[in-house]
A and B are shown apart, each in its own frame.
Chain A
Amino acid sequence: MAFLQRTFEKRDLRDPGFIRAIFSNTWLAPLWLAARLYLGYQWLIAGSHKVWGENRWIAVSGPDGLALRSFWQKAIAIPEQGKPPISYDWYRHFLTFMLDHEWYRWFSWVIALGETVAGILLIVGAFAGLAALAGAFMNFNYLLAGTAATNPVLFVIAMLIFFGWKVAGWIGVDRWLLPTLGTPWQPGPVFRADAPLE
């Protein structure tokens, strides 16, 4: 069993210098800012269409989420010829379950506000990594539902920002927010009784 012990013993494998330079060094903060602004603006535009305006998804006269219901209905439809929009049966069952239980009424709020808030957080650089991850999760779901559009590109940018969470918000609110709040594995002064805020 020595080979098992050798295989699974604790080892820290260090990233090469260029990876650390990209994802952990503040010198590329301007590049992360550009990526954040682009992605944030895309989410803010997408969210704004759903929150405000004539074709908004929420706070409409009548039941909310009819636009989302229509989107889900198209997504789960299986055409007589050709491939269905959704490739995975489990995802089609998931959307069908949500349709049957009229979840689109409240889920439209989650999507509309989620896209808007993710956009604002990315632009100001507050919790940029988490905002990017939330955006990537939405892209992932839209892709599973058969909508390509800009989702693949936005997904890649979001994942890059997520992996660069330490520096992505350096030119932003994270510059002060992360050192103050810290992380779950290293709490900041706000969550440590022994560390004064000043």
Chain B
Amino acid sequence: MNKALVLVGGVVAWAVVAATAILVVFNMGEKNQVLMFLPILAVVVAAWFIGELVTQRVFTGHEKGV
């Protein structure tokens, strides 16, 4: 897999986290500070999975002989 593409994908994944947090602040503000965690947590977990399952595997694959 193209490493540059994977790197860009990882960066975009975390940029989506930042954008989601800003959107949540704009749309939900301080109304429900428990509920507001859910969308942010969801995108954080998604970005983390992309990093662990895709980015990490592609970038360390050659060290493991994959």
Set of chain B residues within 8 Å of A123, measured between Cβ atoms: 17-18, 21, 40, 44
CB contact list, A98-131 vs B, under 8 A:
119-120, 123-124, 126
Task: Type the 1/0 row for B1-27, where 1 means its CB is closer than 8 Å to any CB of A.
Answer: 001000000100010011001100110
Interface footprint category on A: 10 to 19
* Contact (Cβ within 8 A) B25 A41: yes
Q: Is A33 part of the contact surface with B, judged by Cβ < 8 Å?
A: yes
Among A48, A119, A171, A198, point to the contact of B44 (Cβ < 8 A): A171
Among B18, B30, B44, point to the contact of A33 (Cβ < 8 A): B44
* Contact (Cβ within 8 A) B55 A176: yes
Closest to B52 in A: A175
* Contact (Cβ within 8 A) B62 A37: no
Closest to A122 in B: B21
Set of chain A residues within 8 Å of B22, measured between Cβ atoms: 44, 48, 120
Task: Type the 1/0 row for A49-87, where 1 means its CB is closer than 8 Å to any CB of B.
Answer: 000100000000000000000000000000000000000
Known: A33-B44, A37-B41, A120-B18. A45 touches B59 (CB 8 A): no
Set of chain B residues within 8 Å of A120, measured between Cβ atoms: 18, 21-22
* Contact (Cβ within 8 A) A41 B51: no
Set of chain A residues within 8 Å of B10, measured between Cβ atoms: 176
Q: Is A40 part of the contact surface with B, judged by Cβ < 8 Å?
A: yes
* Contact (Cβ within 8 A) B18 A37: no
Complex CA–CA separation, A171 to B43 (angstroms): 12
| Smallest beta-carbon distance B45→chain A, Å | 8
Complex CA–CA separation, A175 to B49 (angstroms): 12
Known: A33-B44, A41-B25, A198-B59. A173 touches B14 (CB 8 A): yes
* Contact (Cβ within 8 A) A175 B18: no
- A: residues with CB less than 8 A from B are 33, 37, 40-41, 44-45, 48, 52, 119-120, 123-124, 126, 171-173, 175-176, 198
- B: residues with CB less than 8 A from A are 3, 10, 14, 17-18, 21-22, 25-26, 29-30, 33, 36-37, 40-41, 44, 48, 51, 55-56, 59, 62
Write 24 A-B pairs (CB below 8 A) sorted by A numbering: A33-B44, A37-B37, A37-B40, A37-B44, A41-B36, A41-B40, A44-B21, A44-B22, A45-B25, A48-B25, A48-B26, A120-B21, A123-B21, A123-B40, A123-B44, A124-B18, A171-B44, A172-B14, A173-B14, A175-B48, A176-B10, A198-B3, A198-B59, A198-B62
Query: Which are the 4 A-B pairs with shortest beta-carbon distances?
Result: A123-B21, A124-B14, A48-B25, A120-B18
